[in-house]
Amino acid sequence: MKFAANFSLEATRPDATEIAALAGILPSGTPVFLTAVPTVDPRAQIDAATRLRNAGLEPVVHIAARRLASAAQLNELLTGLRAEADVRRLLIIGGDVDSSGPFADALSVIQKGGLREAGIEEIGIGGYPEQHPRIPLGRLEAALDQKIAAARAAGLSVTIVSQFSFSPERVVGWLRQLRACGITVPVKVGMAGPASVTGLLRYAKRCGVSASLRGLMSATGRGLIGHASPDAVLAALEAAGDLNASPHYFSFGGAVETARYACEAAAGRIAA
């Protein structure tokens, strides 16, 4: 599959053993996103990013704006990431908590976080094929334009990284709408890697994509058992032609299993 070749994936709190396993499966330089987990402190983020870099993978660190206590905390994190792990790419998200620090949202980090000065070259920003569970569609569209403009003004390359969806039609339609609106930046299309349906239901409800998962289960006759995979979404995007997009896998079934699936899909060995 041509579309599936240039993929990235997410890992949550990967330890040294998991990172070594990923390095044995993934092509050298594969972007591995480190999720912004509230219980992981900056030191742990730096250490994980360093292990990924030393293993020949590309660490991309999530920065959750509303979880930053101060500008100094952000600067300290960026300095450590650049010096120890040569991190040049971030994913900037708002973070689903109320802000208690200087950054109210992702846009404020892009505008005021000194990212380029800290050696960051590229950022990812969020996209939502199924909208956002708490943010109205109009605000999402305006914020997307603002963040792209702010990144360019700061000298940063920008990529949209979307929330996952189980609806091929919705994902393709959303991508085509972006392009029709003149948004040309690359898009990493979020998709849930292979995982149990019961596990996916928990994540889908939390992330506001329950409707498309229920549609998948209904269409395939699945109950609340078994496994689901993004085969149909991959096939639809392959058939859609060049939309300047690539897969981004959420590893709800485990990063190692997701890595194996991603490599099989990239090699064209997934039958959708």
Domain assignment of residue 271, yes or no: no
State the DSSP H helix or E strand holding residue 8, giving kind and residue range, or none if neither.
Answer: strand 8-11
Q: Name the CA radius of gyration of the chain, rounded.
A: 18
Distance between CA 235 and CA 240 in Å, rounded?
A: 9
Length of the chain: 272
Distance between CA 212 and CA 2 in Å, rounded?
A: 25
Walk along the chain (272 residues) in steps of 10 and give the mean pLDDT of each run.
91 94 98 86 93 98 93 95 98 80 93 97 93 59 90 97 88 94 95 75 56 47 53 92 95 90 90 54
Domain assignment of residue 121, yes or no: yes
| Residue located via tokens 């091929």 | 168
Domain assignment of residue 36, yes or no: yes
Domain that includes residue 236, residue range: 3-266
Domain assignment of residue 272, yes or no: no
Domain with 196 in it: what CATH number? 3.20.20.220
Q: Which two tokens stand for residue 270?
A: 């997934």
State the DSSP H helix or E strand holding residue 189, giving kind and residue range, or none if neither.
Answer: strand 187-192
Domain assignment of residue 187, yes or no: yes
Backbone phi and psi for residue 66, each to the nearest 5 degrees, phi listed first: -75, -5
pTM: predicted TM-score of the whole model, two decimal places = 0.88
Q: For residue range 27-72, what is the model confidence (pLDDT) as tens digits?
A: 999 999 999 877 778 899 999 999 999 999 999 999 999 999 999 9
Domain assignment of residue 63, yes or no: yes
Domain count, the chain: 1
Burial of 244 (0-12, 13-18, 19+ CB in 10 A): middle
Domain assignment of residue 149, yes or no: yes
Distance between CA 230 and CA 265 in Å, rounded?
A: 10
Domain assignment of residue 50, yes or no: yes
Distance between CA 214 and CA 109 in Å, rounded?
A: 35
Contact (CB, 8 A) for 89 and 31: yes
Burial of 209 (0-12, 13-18, 19+ CB in 10 A): buried
